[in-house]
Copies of this chain bind each other. A is one copy, B any other.
Amino acid sequence: MSGNDIRYIDGGVCAPKGFRAAGVACGIKGVSDKKDLALIAGDVMCSAAAVYTTNKVKGAPLKVTKGNIADGRAIAIICNSGNANTCAPNGEEIARETCALAADSLGVKAEDIVVCSTGVIGQELSIKPFEKGMPELAAKLRHGGSAEAAEAIMTTDTVPKEVAVEFQIGDKTCHIGGIAKGSGMINPNMATMLSFITTDADITPELLDAVLKEDVKTSYNQICVDGDTSTNDMVVVLANGLAGNDTIDGEGEALDVFRAALSEVTTYLAKKLARDGEGATKLIECRVSGAADDKQARAISKSVIASDLLKAAMFGADANWGRVLCAIGYAPGDFSTENVDVDMSSAAGMVEVCRGSRHKEYSEEEASKILAEEEITISVDMHQGSGSAVAWGCDLTYDYVKINGDYRS
C-alpha cells in the first residue's frame, strides 16, 4: 500500500487488462533449458513510448524499434536474452525478421512490434532459434504469463523483477505493470536496462512519451551498478486504454495520478535492479536534500552511489564518510562542499557521521552493526537550497569481479 491510493497487486505486465505474456527456451543461451525468448502481446493496439540508451554504440534492435514506434503505436514486445545483437553482422536484418516472425504468429503487422535483445555484445546471432521458438512462444501466451516473460529476459540477474499497481482515474480502475532485467553494465543515462511496462489506462501517445521521459530522470537514471552504460538499454511502455477512463490528453488530476502510479512502478523496478547488481549483497540508497535544485541533488546522489570506493566500503560495513564527501566533490556542477551533513542508517538504527563537512564522534561498533544490514541509506544534507533526490546502487564485492572476470564462459 502506498500513497495516492496506489495499491500493489500481483500479475506484472499482465495485471493491466488486455495483455498476455510468455517466455520459452529457444536455444540462444545454448543447449540449456534456460528461458531466452519473451513475448508480451496486447489484445488491442496500444499507445507506445520508449527511451533508449545514450551509448553511441547501439544494439540493432533499438534502431528497428525506434522506427517501428515512431508513429506512437505498438501492439507487442519480443525480447531475447543471451545475445545483445549488437556489433553483430546482419543485426538489423535479424531484428526485422524477429519482428516479422512475432507479427505473423500474432496476426499483426511487423511495424507494430517492439524488438529488444540483451546479452553478450559482438557475437553472431541467427534467426533459427527464433523460428524454432516462436510457435511454442505464441502458443504459451496467457494473461498470467508475466513471470515467465520476466524470467526469459534475465542474463546475470539472480531474480526476476516484476511489479504491478492498481489505482483509480475517475470511477475507472486502472493498472500499470512492469518487468525489468539488469544486473551488470548498469549506469543508465536517459534510458535504462530493459524494462517493459504495460497499462490499461487511456492516454495519448504524446503524453505517454512526455511522462516517461520525465519519469526516467528520477527512477532508472538514478541507479548505477558499475558505471557502464549499456548499448541496449530501453524502457518501453504500452498503453491500451482498456480501463475505459476518459483519455488523458493534458494536465490535470488524471495525469497526476497516472504519473504517480508510473513512478511507483518504475522506482520499484529501478531499486530491484540496483539490489540485484552483479555480485551485490546490499542495496545502497543515497538521499540528498538541501541542494541548490533537484537536478544538482540527482547528480550528487548518483555520484555517491556510483563510487567504487564507497561501494567497497559498504561491502566492508565501514562508515568511511570521507569517501562520501570525495564523491560529492567530484559530482558535476558548481556548488559548495563546506557545510555537508552525512548520516548512515538501516533497519538497525541511524548514526550521524559528519556535520558541517567535519567528523562527528560516533560509535564504530554501532556503525558496523547498522552497515551490516542489507539495505543502507546514506542521507546527505547540502544546506544550500531545497533541491532533493534519491539514487540507488549496490556494494562492490568479490562476486562482481568473479562474475565479470569470466562472463562469457
Tell me the A residues contacting B by CB distance below 8 Å: 54-58, 84, 86-89, 120-124, 184-185, 187, 189, 226-231, 306-309, 312-313, 315-316, 318, 320-323, 325-331, 334-337, 354, 357-359, 396-398, 400-409
Contact = CB atoms under 8 A, between A and B. Distances in A.
A121 B405 contact: no
The binding surface of chain A is classed by DSSP as loop
A204 to B, nearest CB: 32
Contacts of A88: 358-359
Given A184-B309, A328-B57, A401-B312, A322 B359 contact: no
Nearest to A121: B322
Nearest to A185: B309
B405 A330 contact: no
Contacts of A358: 87-89, 122
A325 B398 contact: no
A115 to B, nearest CB: 19
21 contacts: A55-B329, A56-B329, A56-B337, A57-B337, A86-B322, A87-B359, A88-B359, A89-B359, A121-B322, A121-B323, A122-B325, A185-B326, A227-B307, A230-B326, A231-B325, A308-B404, A312-B400, A312-B404, A316-B405, A320-B407, A320-B408
A326 B231 contact: yes
A316 B359 contact: no
Give the interface centre of A229, A308, A313, A396 by most chain B CB atoms within 10 Å: A308
B308 A121 contact: no
Given A87-B358, A309-B228, A401 B404 contact: no
A309 B405 CA distance: 8
Given A87-B359, A309-B404, A316-B404, 6 more contacts: A56-B331, A56-B336, A58-B329, A122-B358, A185-B309, A400-B401
Contact of A330 (B56, B406, B408): B56
Nearest to A187: B330
A397 B313 CA distance: 15
Contacts of A330: 54-56, 187, 189, 228-229
A224 to B, nearest CB: 11
A227 B311 CA distance: 12
Nearest to A333: B56
- Which 6 A-B pairs have CB atoms at the shortest separation, nearest pair first? A121-B322, A316-B405, A57-B329, A312-B404, A122-B322, A55-B329
B325 A121 contact: yes
Nearest to A327: B228
B313 A404 contact: yes
A359 B307 contact: no
Contacts of A322: 84, 86-87, 120-123
Contacts of A54: 330
Contacts of A185: 309, 326
A227 B230 contact: no
Nearest to A84: B322
Nearest to A228: B309
